[in-house]
């Protein structure tokens, strides 16, 4: 006997059955709350993405929070210096689980044009774990939106990005 057969006939067309995990993934992936944080020029594109022309709200991601305790997505938008690295890491640690990180732009990905500089962290993955890398200098708002949709896919189907053991 399948579990579906237990559902009374009158509810069959009104009730969807899924797993708790599936429900949570669905809910989380549709309502990411990014942290209001920008390090340099990429942050301008991030603001554009949330504003009228690109309208991030179409995807449900418009609730930028001023406190890390209310956010679950950290968009690292810009150049990270070694001086700024400890505060950035602290912000990440203050975010409640589950939390996700997007490295936006060349600087956050790998240090960008400053990769060899004494003052710049060559990629934020040296400091905190990263879910999605968005290339570009800076990436256009469309690229950020695409990156967030990739993150949505990752949250819904974590198995597709799991690293295969060597």
Partner 1 sequence: MKRKYLAKDKLYALKKDFPSEMDFDDTLEKPTLIILKQQVFVEIMHTLKIRYKFDMLSNITAVDYDDHFEVVYDLANRTNNEELMVKIALAKTDPNIPTLTKLWPEADFQEREQYDLMGINFLGHPNLQRILLPDDFIGHPLQKSYKQVEKGGISEK
Q: Mark the segment that binds partner 1 (CB under 8 A) among 7-15, 44-52, 117-125, 129-137.
A: 117-125
Q: Judging by beta carbons within 10 Å of its beta carbon (0-12, 13-18, 19+), is residue 154 exposed, middle or buried?
A: middle
Rounded distance between C-alpha atoms, residue 123 and residue 141, angstroms? 21
Q: Kindly identify the residues of this chain, within the stretch 32-91, that bind partner 1 according to CB under 8 A.
A: 82-83, 85-86
Structure letter (DSSP) for residue 134: E
Q: Which helix (H) or strand (E) holds 101?
A: strand 100-104
Minimum distance between the CB of residue 135 and partner 1, rounded to whole angstroms? 19
Q: Which of 91, 122, 136, 140 binds partner 1 (CB under 8 A)?
A: 122
Q: Which is nearer to partner 1, 126 or 157 (CB)?
A: 126
Q: Residue 81 contacts by C-beta under 8 Å, 6 or more apart in sequence?
A: 119, 120, 121
Determine if residue 42 is labeled as part of a ligand binding site.
Answer: yes
Show binding-site residues for [4Fe-4S] cluster. 41-42, 107, 137
The footprint of partner 1 (CB under 8 A) covers: 82-83, 85-86, 116, 118-119, 122, 126-127
């Amino acid at each position: 006997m399948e579990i579906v057969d237990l559902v009374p006939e009158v509810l069959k067309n009104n009730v969807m059955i899924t797993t708790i995990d599936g429900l949570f993934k669905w809910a989380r992936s549709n309502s990411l709350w990014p942290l209001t944080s920008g390090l340099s020029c990429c942050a301008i594109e991030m603001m554009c993405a949330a504003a009228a022309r690109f309208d991030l709200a179409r995807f449900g991601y418009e609730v930028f929070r001023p406190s890390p305790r209310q956010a679950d997505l950290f968009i690292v938008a810009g150049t990270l210096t070694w001086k700024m690295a400890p505060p950035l890491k602290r912000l990440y640690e203050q975010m409640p689980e589950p939390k996700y990180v997007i490295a936006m732009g060349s600087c956050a990905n790998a240090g960008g044009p400053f990769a060899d500089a004494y003052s710049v962290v060559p990629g934020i993955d040296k400091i905190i774990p990263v879910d999605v890398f968005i290339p570009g200098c800076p990436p256009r708002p469309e690229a950020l939106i695409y990156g967030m949709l990739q993150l949505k896919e990752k949250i819904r189907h974590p198995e597709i990005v799991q690293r295969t053991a060597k």
